[in-house]
């Protein structure tokens, strides 16, 4: 793999020293550093990096203004290095909506050994960014603060069918698109694993809830699977489903990572296959690696319906490609066709039932 040139943009002198150090020896060359956005834009023109890591809290030109200019002038992939705070999470999701490729969570204590915890994640995301398709910038679309019809799931009977969604890099935008297009009367429960750091998923769920007619929340153990409810797996937990006497529920676990990941899409998909069998529907979307591929295969093997996002609309094609190459996807669809395909799946099922 050719050497990847990276520009590190951070107002912390410590981070400007630590990030190049943890990237050493991984076919990644830090060609320069910058302490704010103005310096960064000058160095981009001079050094021509392949990928940029970007802090959002900087003096003079902050990270958001810098990202806006990078997307506008250079169309380079940007990985946000985000603070573990509510404000940091809000800024991170805004940056992803503006066109940032992905993010890593900055360790709470950069002087401790925690800095090493992000090394593998950052290296993998830099490599994925360097190889990624250049998805067109999405712009700063405002939040839909109150959909016209907001689903109220209280009092709904337990769901008889479930949709399981799995995604990673590029997933926040993909999930936003899919969930915002589904109608308030969608007749199934939806369970989601998005590879995301602990501390960010609650706010992510709240943003999706604000943009969807469905009810979206971060999952808790014991949450009922209800028609029109979307449960987002918390960071650093596994999510599975289980049928109980009163109806199916979400179950969170902290057992060992699967495929090196917690949460793992495979954990969710395998439980959905076991508990729902032929009534299950699953979608594997953009993301690096192969997490979810075998789980998708198990859902298909038990008679469930499986979809995979196509290469052209993925930010990173790894996860869907792994499933498609193994023959586990019943259909391969562009992102914009997935919501309609889900609606059609349940419309055909309800039609068959009425006949």
Distance CA 281, CA 310 (A): 17
Is pLDDT above 50 for 78? yes
Do 199 and 343 share a structural domain?
yes
pLDDT of 178-190, one tens digit each?
Answer: 999 999 999 999 9
Provide the b/e sequence for 24-45 (b: ≥16 CB within 10 Å).
eebebebbbbbbbbbbbbebbe
> How far is the C-alpha of 260 from the C-alpha of 324, rounded, in Å?
21
168, 212, 264, 271: the catalytic one is 168
For residues 184 and 123, state if they share a domain: no
195 in active site? yes
The whole-number pLDDT of residue 111 equals 56
pLDDT given for residue 141 in this prediction = 46
Residues 125, 169 within the same domain: no
pLDDT at 354: 38
Indicate whether 72 and 119 sit together in one domain. yes
Let me know if 291 is a catalytic residue: yes
The enclosing domain of 10 has a CATH number of 3.40.50.2300
CATH number for the domain that contains residue 219: 3.40.50.180
The pLDDT assigned to 351 comes to 44
> Given this model, what pLDDT does residue 355 score?
33
Q: Which of 78, 108, 131 lies at the terminal end of a domain, its last residue?
A: 131
Average pLDDT over residues 203-231: 95
124 and 16 share one domain: yes
Q: What is the pLDDT of residues 132-155, one digit of tens each?
A: 865 544 544 444 445 556 767 777
Residue 145 burial by CB count (10 A; 0-12/13-18/19+): exposed, middle or buried? Answer: exposed
DSSP secondary structure letter of residue 261 = B
SS3 assignment for 141-152: CCCCCCCCCCCC
Give the model confidence (pLDDT) of 54-76 as tens digits: 999 888 888 999 999 999 999 89
Residue 279 placed within a domain: yes
pLDDT digits (tens, 9 = 90+) for 289-339: 999 999 999 999 999 999 999 999 999 999 999 999 999 999 999 999 999
Interstrand relation of 331-333 and 162-167 (parallel, antiparallel or unpaired): unpaired
Q: Percentage of residues in the chain with pLDDT exceeding 70?
A: 90
- Of 271, 291, 292, nearest to 283 (Cα)? 292
Reply yes or no on whether the pLDDT at 261 is more than 70.
Answer: yes
Domain for residue 333, yes or no? yes
As for how many domains the chain has, the answer is 2
Mean pLDDT (the chain, rounded) = 89
Q: How far apart are CA 174 and CA 181, in angstroms?
A: 11
Residues 105 and 199 reside in one and the same domain: no
What does the pLDDT average to over 230-257? 97
Q: Which domain holds residue 111?
A: 4-131
- Say which of 195, 238, 264, 266 is annotated catalytic: 195
């Amino acid at each position: 793999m050719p050497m990847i040139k990276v520009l590190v943009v951070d107002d912390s002198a410590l981070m400007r020293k630590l990030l190049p150090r943890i990237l050493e020896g991984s076919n990644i060359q830090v060609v320069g550093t910058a302490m704010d956005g103005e310096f960064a834009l000058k160095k981009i023109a001079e050094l021509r990096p392949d990928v940029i890591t970007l802090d959002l809290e900087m003096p003079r030109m902050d990270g958001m203004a810098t990202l806006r200019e990078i997307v506008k002038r250079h169309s380079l992939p940007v990985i946000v290095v985000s603070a573990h705070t509510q404000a940091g999470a809000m800024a991170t999701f805004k940056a992803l909506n503006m066109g940032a490729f992905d993010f890593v969570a900055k360790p709470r204590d950069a002087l401790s050994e925690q800095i090493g915890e992000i090394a593998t994640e950052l290296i993998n995301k830099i490599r994925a960014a360097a190889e990624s398709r250049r998805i067109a910038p999405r712009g700063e679309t405002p939040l839909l603060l109150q959909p016209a019809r907001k689903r109220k799931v209280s009092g709904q009977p337990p769901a008889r069918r479930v949709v399981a969604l799995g995604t990673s890099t590029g997933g926040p935008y993909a999930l936003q698109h899919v969930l915002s297009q589904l109608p308030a009367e969608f007749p199934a429960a939806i369970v989601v694993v998005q590879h995301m750091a602990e501390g960010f998923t609650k706010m992510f769920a709240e943003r999706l809830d604000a943009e969807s007619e469905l009810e979206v929340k971060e999952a808790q153990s014991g949450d009922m699977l209800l028609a029109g409810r979307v449960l987002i797996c918390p960071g650093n937990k596994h999510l599975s489903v289980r049928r109980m006497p009163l109806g199916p529920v979400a179950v969170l676990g902290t057992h060992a990572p699967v495929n090196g990941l917690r949460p793992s899409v495979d954990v969710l998909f395998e439980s959905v296959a076991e508990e729902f069998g032929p009534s299950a529907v699953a979608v594997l979307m953009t993301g690096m690696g192969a997490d979810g591929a075998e789980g998708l295969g198990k859902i298909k093997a038990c008679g469930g319906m499986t979809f995979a996002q196509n290469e052209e609309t993925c930010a990173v094609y790894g996860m869907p490609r792994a499933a498609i190459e193994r023959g586990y996807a019943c259909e391969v669809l562009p992102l914009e066709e997935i919501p309609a395909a889900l609606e059609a799946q349940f419309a055909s099922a309800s039609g068959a039932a009425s006949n």
